[in-house]
Structures are given as structure tokens and as C-alpha cells.
Amino acid sequence: MTDQRAPRDPHAFIAGLPKAELHVHHVGSASPRIVSELAARHPDSKVPTDPEALADYFTFTDFAHFIEVYLSVVDLIRTPEDVRLLTYEVARDLARQQVRYAELTITPFSSTRRGIDERAFMDAIEDARKAAEAEFGTVLRWCFDIPGEAGLESAEETARLATDDRLRPEGLVSFGLGGPEIGVPRPQFKPYFDRAIAAGLHSVPHAGETTGPETVWDALTELRAERIGHGTSSAQDPKLLAHLAEHRIPLEVCPTSNIATRAVRDLDEHPIKEFARAGVLVTINSDDPPMFGTDLNDEYAVAARLLGLDERGIAELAGNAVRASFLDEAGKARLTREIDAYTETWLAP
């Protein structure tokens, strides 16, 4: 995947490339327009309504500061209609970037504990999912994540919402774990992941974003992770890299996020090259795009630069996301054909 001749400007190719997004947060995808609109509706909030002030507000000193700001935006989502609007608008933004399939990480606990009725919450996301697929052609699926720092109460609530047949939404495919890692050991969440896995959900915890490779090992052995959110510190452990490569455990790499939260000092120090060199299946993702001043297309351009990829290499990255997704086999084949056809047409003389 490395050492190819990079196209001079890959942006135009990337902009039209059909893509899958596997690591993007629901509230973290609220565009400045949506955030401003919600902030204006709820003037008691400290979130600025002016998009320029918002850019300053979305400048983070460290990961803890990022979570503090993130939760102030969560506080703006107060009604099922807010939830529906946000979900639908996120799908519109994804469709504009030619994202055909996205697994959106949602934290239902943060909404239900703030008083949104659980049935109404599920109906709102499902209604938006169906409308987005019909109107934009983008297929959405859900990952429900535990906000780890909120404790085992949040794990219990998330597992209940994800596994109760009367509540569990049709679009739910996976179970995750987010929030800070420091002081939040992964093994304590094993019983909740066991329940989710027994109910047919895939395991996709964040790990190794702000802590060392031992957290990634815990995610693999205790939480039976099938993909790793970030996994940045895996690069510090050659045995772990070999394990990820051998067992085809993909990493959901989000380069700009890692800079914005100060998990990595500089893009040129990002370990994505080590991942690719070790044969790990790398997928490119945007995490919380408006908060980090990026989008999925920009993340592909960053990855192309760091890995020195030409158009075929970039298309291979897009193919990795399809392979690592929880789409069914027919859906994977269809999207892979679309990526290949687009690339061949682009490169045709």
C-alpha cells in the first residue's frame, strides 16, 4: 500500500470516490449550522451560536477538554425531534461526500439520562435512517457505545437498550465503548460486551487512543473486539501489530482527531505508516468531523499523503473500509464494484 506515486492533488478523486465510514460519532457530527441552531434554541447553554466563535470553542487543549466540550453539545440534544434532525442532517453531510454506508456511533445513555424517552429516541434514529436511505441513498447502521467514564450504570443501561428485543433498533449492528480511557479499565465492561455479543452484535471498542497497547490487548482478549477504535498506541508493540495483522483485526484510524485531542503530537508522527507496513488492515475515518475541522474526504487526503498513495492506493483504502464493515456480503460486493468502476473510469485515458 505504500511507496506508490502520489497524485498531485488527490482531492478531486477522493471527493467522487464511493466510501464507507466506520468510526463517526452521532453528536460529534453535528455541523456548525445544527449546533448554532440548537444553541439558539437553548440560550441557557454555553455553546456559542456564532459559527466563528464555534471554531474557537472547538479548539481543544487535551482529550479531557474535548470530552467537556463534547458533553456541552450533548446537552443541546433535548427532544426526540432534536435527535431526528441531527441524525438526518448527519446523513445528508455523509451523502455529500459520497459515503454510501456508515456505522454511526450513538451513545443512547447520554440522551436517556437527560430525559429523552427511550422509545421515542429509538423511533427518532430509525425514522431518520429510513428517510436518509430513501432520499440520499446512504445506508446507516448504528453502534451503541458505553460512555465508560460514566461508570457501570451506563454500561448496564447501554447493554439493556441494545439487547431488549422491544427496544433494539433494526439498524443496530455493533456495541462499543468510548470516552476517556485513563482510569477506565476495559476489563470491567466484559459482562456487558458478553451480553451484546450473545445478542448478535459486533464488538468495536475504542482502545489505545489515549493509553498504551495493553488497553488494545484488553479490548481484544476481554471484550472480544472485532475492530479497534483508533488503536493508535498499537504501534508501540510489534507483537500486537503482528497479532492485528494475522487475525485481520482492522484499526479505525482517525488521523486529524488524534491531533485535535493531542493524542498524537503531529500528523507526520502519526503511526499509520507503521500500521500499513505491518500489514494491519487500516481504515480511514473522521470521528467527530466538525469538531475537528475535517471531514472524511480530508481524512483520505491526509492518509494518501502520509502513506504516499496514488489513486489505486486510495481506492484500496476505501476497499478496506468495505471489507472491515458489517455490511452483508452482497452489500460489500456491490460497494466494492462501485469503487472499482469509479477508479477505472477516473484512470481511463
67/335 with CB nearer ligand LNDFFVEH: 67
- ∠ CA 54-60-63, rounded to 5°: 135
Among residues 157, 209, 226, 252, the one annotated as catalytic is 209
User: What does 209 bind: ligand LNDFFVEH, Zn ion, none (CB cut-off 5 to 8 Å by kind)?
Assistant: ligand LNDFFVEH
125/254 with CB nearer Zn ion: 254
Q: How far is the CB of 52 from ligand LNDFFVEH (least distance, A)?
A: 23
The C-alpha cell of 210 is what? 489515549
Cβ atoms 45, 72 nearer than 8 A: yes
Q: How far is the CB of 115 from Zn ion (least distance, A)?
A: 25
Q: Is 21 in the site for Zn ion (CB under 5 A)?
A: no
Query: How far, in Å, CA of 89 to CA of 44, rounded?
Result: 24
Q: Is 316 in the site for ligand LNDFFVEH (CB under 6 A)?
A: no
Closest CA to 229 of 262, 201, 257, 205: 205
150/322 with CB nearer ligand LNDFFVEH: 150
Single out the segment in contact with ligand LNDFFVEH by CB under 6 A; choices: 36-44, 79-87, 141-149, 194-202: 141-149
Query: How far, in Å, CA of 202 to CA of 162, rounded?
Result: 11
Q: Which of 105, 163, 294, 320 binds ligand LNDFFVEH (CB under 6 A)?
A: 105
Q: How far is the CB of 137 from ligand LNDFFVEH (least distance, A)?
A: 26
Q: How far is the CB of 151 from Zn ion (least distance, A)?
A: 19
Site string for Zn ion, 280-309 (x = CB under 5 A): -------x----------------------
137/151 with CB nearer ligand LNDFFVEH: 151
163/210 with CB nearer ligand LNDFFVEH: 210
Query: How far, in Å, CA of 140 to CA of 148, rounded?
Result: 24
Is residue 37 annotated as part of the catalytic site, yes or no? no
Q: Is 209 in the site for ligand LNDFFVEH (CB under 6 A)?
A: yes
Q: How far is the CB of 103 from ligand LNDFFVEH (least distance, A)?
A: 13
Positions touching ligand LNDFFVEH (CB under 6 A) are 25, 28, 67, 70-71, 74, 105, 107, 110, 113, 145, 147, 149-150, 178-179, 206, 209, 257, 287-288
What residue ranges bind Zn ion (CB under 5 A)?
287
